[in-house]
Structure 1
Amino acid sequence: MVIVVAGGEPPVATALAGLPPGAFVVAADSGVDGAHGIGLRVDLAVGDFDSASAGAAGRVVDAGGRVEQYPTAKNATDLEIALDAALDRSPERIVVLGGAGGRFDHWLAVAFLLASPLYASVDLQARWAEATVTVVRRSAELTGQPGDVVTLLPVHGTAGGIRTEGLEYPLRDEDLPPGTTRGVSNVLLGTGATVSVRSGVLLAVQPVSPRTL
């Protein structure tokens, strides 16, 4: 698997729970600082580095990692470049840490980026301070605590043949069209749930409960 550390809001150490310690790490711009802040060694740093701390790229090189610098004026965000670099390693799974804080348009852009067909070959999840977002293209396992909220949002069209196990309000071979609120505010019955789709893409959003902050 590959861990991608986004710029912007730094990740918290608890986001590393369950992730293998030897995973390849790609950092986007100031994600270098976020990665170092939770003890991760950066194998590859990408971006224009306009928001990283002074010397961030140098620290990556000093530790044996690589740096790929891009111009500030470009047609993709640093996170998209980092995701593409992660995909080049043909992982089964990519987990994105940090980077969702701040502007609402950035939050939406990242959410839609995660669901892009470009990443259909890989299991993809983002762990932010505000929420964990899991992309469901076939089937996904969700974890949490009993009573945690789970919202299922279809993107890029209707998500068809949805089945859930472990949620209070089950879906049994049902469709969710784009724009529906039917999937909002479901609830974990235990510590895990399974969500699967026959067609389409879902974002399974698990907002962070105040008790876990």
Structure 2
Amino acid sequence: MTRTALVLCGGGPVRRPVPIPDAPLVVAADSGVVEAERLGIPVDLLIGDMDSAPPDAAERVRAGGGRVELHPAEKDSSDLELALEAARVRGVREILVVGGDRGRLDHLLANALLLAAPRFAELRVDAVLGEARLHVIRGERELEGRPGELVSLLAAGGPARGVRTRGLRYVLDGGDLLPGSSLGLSNEFSDERASVRVREGAILAIRPGGDAA
């Protein structure tokens, strides 16, 4: 069974190197197939309503041995949500989402929050969106960076209780991060390794990249 899924979504090209996992299950969410082709990655599953994928995308995926799962345009889940769920039910333990950061703000925010949805709580979820890297933190995670690199810690889906950090300039020592609070905004790596622990809840660690990194 494949342990890792690479999920590609739309939103324009990725503007930083993508750490492609070994032998992943590759799922393209609609126009994410364009990014897969740009990166030279064969697609195992193309999923979505195909409203933004090239007209011949499904044919190309099938010709390469992949499957296509077509959904109606009027549906209750976004194409990315369908792709994440498809990866989850196939038994993967880790998901890397790759896509752009252009287009509608509501889509970008919904995609970021979706990564921390409770039904994916048993999975290790990371993302590369445009120039930014995102990490979902439940329990404890160690992050590698460089001193001075920005990282923001935001509560996702509810309060994040008992947050403790090491290796960051501004230390959190058991306090809470609340939704809508800017307490965790614009922290910095003080070392090449940092750890974030949360007793209850979930945190989105966002590393903006670009000139801000």
Name the TM-score, length of structure 1 as normaliser: 0.93
1:92 equivalent in structure 2: 93
Name the count of aligned residue pairs: 210
1:13 deviates by 6.5
**Structure 1 CA distance for aligned equivalents of residues 56 and 145 of structure 2:** 38
Residue 13 of structure 2 aligns to which amino acid in structure 1? P
Deviations 1:141-198 (A, max 9, x none): 2222221101111122211111111111111222112222111111012332111100
Residue 26 of structure 2 aligns to which amino acid in structure 1? V
1:95 deviates by 0.7
Local SS of the residue matching 2:157: strand
4+ runs deviating over 4 angstroms: none
Q: Tell me the C-alpha RMSD between the 2 structures.
A: 1.6
1:74 deviates by 1.0
Q: Say if 2:14 and 2:131, in contact at 8 Å, map to a contact too.
A: no
1:136 deviates by 0.8
Residue 42 of structure 1 aligns to which amino acid in structure 2? V
**Structure 2 CA distance for aligned equivalents of residues 141 and 102 of structure 1:** 31
- Alignment match of 2:9 (pick from 6, 12, 18): 6
Identity of aligned residues (%): 45
Q: Say if 1:41 and 1:63, in contact at 8 Å, map to a contact too.
A: yes
Name the TM-score, length of structure 2 as normaliser: 0.93
2:122 equivalent in structure 1: 121
78-87 or 19-28, larger mean C-alpha shift: 19-28
Residue 56 of structure 1 aligns to which amino acid in structure 2? A
1:31 deviates by 0.6
**Structure 2 CA distance for aligned equivalents of residues 98 and 41 of structure 1:** 16
Residue 191 of structure 1 aligns to which amino acid in structure 2? E
Local SS of the residue matching 1:21: coil
Mapping of 1:46-195 within 5 angstroms?
46-195=47-196
**Structure 1 CA distance for aligned equivalents of residues 178 and 34 of structure 2:** 40
Consecutive unaligned residues of structure 1, counting only runs of 5 or more, are none
Local SS of the residue matching 2:58: helix
**Structure 2 CA distance for aligned equivalents of residues 150 and 119 of structure 1:** 22
**Structure 1 CA distance for aligned equivalents of residues 94 and 170 of structure 2:** 28
Consecutive unaligned residues of structure 2, counting only runs of 5 or more, are none
Residue 50 of structure 1 aligns to which amino acid in structure 2? D
1:104 deviates by 0.9
